[in-house]
A = this chain, B = another copy of it.
Amino acid sequence: MSEIDANMWKVCASDVATRTTNPIRAVVDHIKTKPNPNKSMIPLSLGDPTVFGNLRVSSVVEDILIETIRGGKANGYVHSAGPLEARLALAEWYSIPNEDKLSADDILIASGCSGALEIVISAIASIGQNIVVPRPGFPLYTSIAESRGIEVRMYDLDPEKGWEINIAHLESLIDEKTSFVLVNNPSNPCGCVYSKEHLEDVLAVAEKKRVPIIADEIYEHMTFTGNTFHRLASLTKTVPIITVSGLAKRYLVPGWRLGWAVVYDRNGILADVRKGMLAMSQIVLGANTIMLASLPNILRQVPQSFYDETMATLEKQAQALIQGLTGIPGISIIYPQGAMYVMAKIEVDKLKDISSDVEFTEKLLEEESVMVLPGQCFKIKNYVRMVFCAPPEKLSEASARIADFCARHSA
């Protein structure tokens, strides 16, 4: 501090900034331990498929991008919802078979699926209303809503039933102030994929309570053998649904920041919200135009083999991790059906000096240099989330270390 007295200026952060938090950062920044310097670090914490280099975007996509750059015609400003061609390509992709096709007006492209969620949530929910989101669940829904001063209510997912939604609990949280219910399928952090019947039960609640649904389907089609993804919007003609998704996970490019919202509104219920979304999109033009101009060709030209190979790799990795973790006293696994995540329950009564998921995480890092995320990041206690994006040998190594760790701490 020089002669100037900072207090004389009194420049504070805004109320909005003060109530804006990132629960993952808040938990992770408080982890008190460091990795074991004698063991190589194995991070199983980040939902980023690119970390290990084993999962890479299709070279077809790289070629499309380069053609766009060399073309020199995609450097300017575009429509705030995205250029027409890109929206038309998505409208085609997201249209439900045997129904009227979606139009470009049903699509809003943003800076990642996060950007789409920010626009949709801000456009639909007001202060004084509440939103209803899953627990455990992706923390961004809460961050966006709390930053905007909107109340968040959490419905339970039931680990005993493969993380199905507790329908009665969901229904009990909805009241006349509820702006929307959020359904995330396949789920982060649970790795579950819901059946048609279960999704129909959820839709019945929305129908009864007259509440629209935001369907976060960014892990769409990322399912393992024997599990089928059902697009929520394909199972109703009456409940208004806004689906959000993006390139990040399926194309292995989270850094590219290309996501979108798809408005399924057969009965004009969301006309007002749609206008609001467009208004919100005009403040900060979101996505990069090289990506936007490339999107139609990406959607059309990436061969099915790319998706198949990605999922085969992910499934093999999931198996390597599960296999290694199965039977370890002190933790129990719920077998994932898709996405990139598995949740492991920490049985604190079977571990002598570990009383919580956070403590498990801290000690595991300190002793074994394996990083996982404590369930508290997702508002659930005594679980940890592990990402199976690492190559099988690393995942086997990680689970061997976890086995050693649990044996050492066994009660």
Residues of chain A at the chain B interface (Cβ within 8 Å): 1-2, 4, 6, 8-18, 20-22, 25, 46, 48-51, 53, 56-57, 62, 65-66, 69-70, 72, 74-78, 111-112, 114-115, 118, 122-127, 140, 143-144, 147-148, 179, 210, 212, 238, 240, 252-257, 266-273, 275-277, 279-280, 282-292
- A2-B266, A290-B290 given as contacts; is B240 within 8 A of A275 (CB)? no
Known: A16-B148, A20-B279. 13 other contacts (CB 8 A): A6-B267, A6-B268, A11-B272, A12-B272, A13-B279, A14-B125, A17-B277, A21-B279, A22-B279, A75-B252, A115-B284, A144-B283, A255-B288
Which B residues are in CB contact (< 8 Å) with A126?
12, 14-16
Q: Which of B57, B124, B127 is the one whose CB lies under 8 Å from A75? A: B57
Contact assessment for B288 and A13 in the assembled complex, using a CB-CB cutoff below 8 Å: no
Contact assessment for A212 and B57 in the assembled complex, using a CB-CB cutoff below 8 Å: no
A270's nearest neighbour on chain B, judged by CB, is B11
| Assembly CA distance A114 to B282 (angstroms) | 10
| Assembly CA distance A75 to B65 (angstroms) | 13
A-B contact pairs, 14 of them (CB 8 A): A4-B238, A9-B212, A10-B210, A13-B124, A13-B275, A17-B123, A20-B279, A22-B282, A48-B76, A62-B69, A66-B70, A78-B255, A256-B288, A288-B288
Contact assessment for B284 and A122 in the assembled complex, using a CB-CB cutoff below 8 Å: no
A277's nearest neighbour on chain B, judged by CB, is B17
| Assembly CA distance A50 to B78 (angstroms) | 11
Quick one: copies of this chain in the complex? 2
CB distance from A60 to the nearest CB of B (A): 12
| Assembly CA distance A78 to B268 (angstroms) | 39
CB distance from A121 to the nearest CB of B (A): 9
CB distance from A130 to the nearest CB of B (A): 13
CB distance from A95 to the nearest CB of B (A): 18
Q: Which of B74, B111, B277 is the one whose CB lies under 8 Å from A111? A: B111
Which B residues are in CB contact (< 8 Å) with A12?
126, 272-273
- A25-B282, A147-B283, A269-B6 given as contacts; is B74 within 8 A of A255 (CB)? yes
Contact assessment for A76 and B50 in the assembled complex, using a CB-CB cutoff below 8 Å: yes
CB distance from A278 to the nearest CB of B (A): 9
| Assembly CA distance A166 to B337 (angstroms) | 65
Contact assessment for B123 and A14 in the assembled complex, using a CB-CB cutoff below 8 Å: yes
CB distance from A5 to the nearest CB of B (A): 8
Which B residues are in CB contact (< 8 Å) with A122?
14, 16-17
Which B residues are in CB contact (< 8 Å) with A65?
69, 290
Contact assessment for A288 and B257 in the assembled complex, using a CB-CB cutoff below 8 Å: yes
A274's nearest neighbour on chain B, judged by CB, is B13
Contact assessment for A9 and B210 in the assembled complex, using a CB-CB cutoff below 8 Å: yes
CB distance from A63 to the nearest CB of B (A): 9
